[in-house]
């Protein structure tokens, strides 16, 4: 074969291979801690310019295609963040904003992909000790079209905090919300056993809590916990049948107790877990991250197959 023909063939093969290679995309969740543009009766906060800049830095570091936000203020606050991100090169043309019983902070979604369907859950109720409770922040549910033949359900939540309230035990109230969230998940599985679901957000509880066990489920339709960790150089873990590897996975700092914990999650249905890229799922290590929020964002990566 002549050299010229060989080079041409090699180039053609490379182009053909690249065209067949699967595309990847990233999803993330980030509690942005009282991203308010004006104080409210119960939350006397206005997000500072310095804190907003750190929020944007954290988002830009992970470069997500779809982003769930918790503790977002009004739609004006969301639009300010969206516009500021666009000015810095992160354009999210599509968005969703859910208003629940809590009128101060909300769940929102920013997306670079088309949102082809919206199913907000704003009035879900449950009984606890004979009293009726409404899910405080509601649930954002959107259908995302990542590619021509790849659509998935993005279900974002911010469950009841661990702060005690006079109305009910906080853990039981959070469990009630978790059951409502799992009901939505199960409805998807009932309609389609191969449903592509990403369930994520600030669930305000540890993995072994009743609330998390309820959401993750069991058996055939158990959700996979992606468990993002820091990319801090750790590359060897001691095998232990009693616990997960000792990598750094905390997502939240609680100042009152000076504690760090993992309460933010990205969970996957079995069909979605098949296209999950474990080596590109992580927690970014951002200098001075705490200026922006008491939470850190987490990100997971997937292949379109």
In angstroms, rounded to a whole number, what is the distance separating the alpha carbons of residues 71 and 36? 8
Q: Residue 6: inside a domain, yes or no?
A: no
Q: Residue 4: inside a domain, yes or no?
A: no
pLDDT digits (tens, 9 = 90+) for 145-157: 999 999 999 999 9
Q: Is 6 helix (H, G, I), strand (E, B) or coil?
A: helix
Q: Residue 129: inside a domain, yes or no?
A: yes
Q: Residue 15: inside a domain, yes or no?
A: no
In angstroms, rounded to a whole number, what is the distance separating the alpha carbons of residues 242 and 262? 18
Q: Residue 14: inside a domain, yes or no?
A: no
Q: Residue 12: inside a domain, yes or no?
A: no
- Length of the chain equals 305
Q: Residue 39: inside a domain, yes or no?
A: yes
* Number of domains within the chain: 1
pLDDT digits (tens, 9 = 90+) for 197-252: 999 999 999 999 999 999 999 999 999 999 999 998 887 666 676 788 889 999 99
Q: Domain with 156 in it: what CATH number?
A: 3.60.10.10
What's the domain range around 166?
22-300
Q: Residue 97: inside a domain, yes or no?
A: yes
pLDDT band at 40 (very low <50, low <70, confident <90, very high): confident
Strands 259-261 and 252-254: antiparallel
């Amino acid at each position: 074969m002549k050299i010229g023909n060989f080079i041409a063939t090699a180039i053609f093969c490379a182009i053909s291979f690249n065209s067949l290679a699967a595309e990847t995309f990233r999803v993330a969740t980030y509690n942005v801690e009282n991203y308010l543009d004006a104080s409210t009766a119960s939350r006397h906060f206005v997000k500072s310019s310095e804190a907003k800049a750190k929020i944007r830095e954290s988002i830009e570091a992970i470069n997500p295609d779809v982003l769930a936000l918790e503790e977002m203020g009004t739609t004006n606050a969301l639009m300010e963040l969206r516009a500021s991100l666009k000015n810095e090169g992160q354009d999210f043309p599509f968005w969703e904003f859910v208003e629940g019983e809590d009128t101060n902070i909300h769940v929102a979604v920013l997306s670079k992909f088309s949102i082809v369907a919206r199913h907000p859950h704003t009035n879900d109720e449950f009984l606890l000790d004979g009293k009726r409770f409404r899910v405080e922040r509601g649930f954002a549910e959107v259908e995302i079209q990542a590619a021509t033949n790849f659509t998935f359900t993005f279900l974002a939540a911010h469950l009841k905090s661990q702060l005690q309230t006079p109305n009910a035990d906080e853990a039981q109230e959070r469990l009630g919300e978790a059951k409502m969230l799992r009901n939505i998940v199960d409805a998807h599985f009932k309609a389609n056993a191969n449903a592509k679901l990403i369930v994520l957000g600030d669930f305000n509880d540890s993995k072994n809590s009743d609330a998390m066990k309820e959401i993750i489920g069991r058996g055939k339709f158990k959700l996979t916990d992606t468990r993002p960790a820091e990319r801090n150089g750790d590359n060897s873990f001691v095998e232990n049948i009693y616990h997960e590897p000792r990598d750094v996975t905390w997502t939240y700092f609680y100042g009152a107790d000076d504690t760090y914990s993992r309460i933010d999650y990205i969970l996957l249905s079995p069909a979605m877990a098949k296209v999950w890229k474990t080596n590109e799922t992580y927690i970014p290590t951002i200098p001075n991250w705490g200026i922006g929020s008491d939470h850190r964002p987490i990100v997971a990566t997937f292949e379109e197959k």
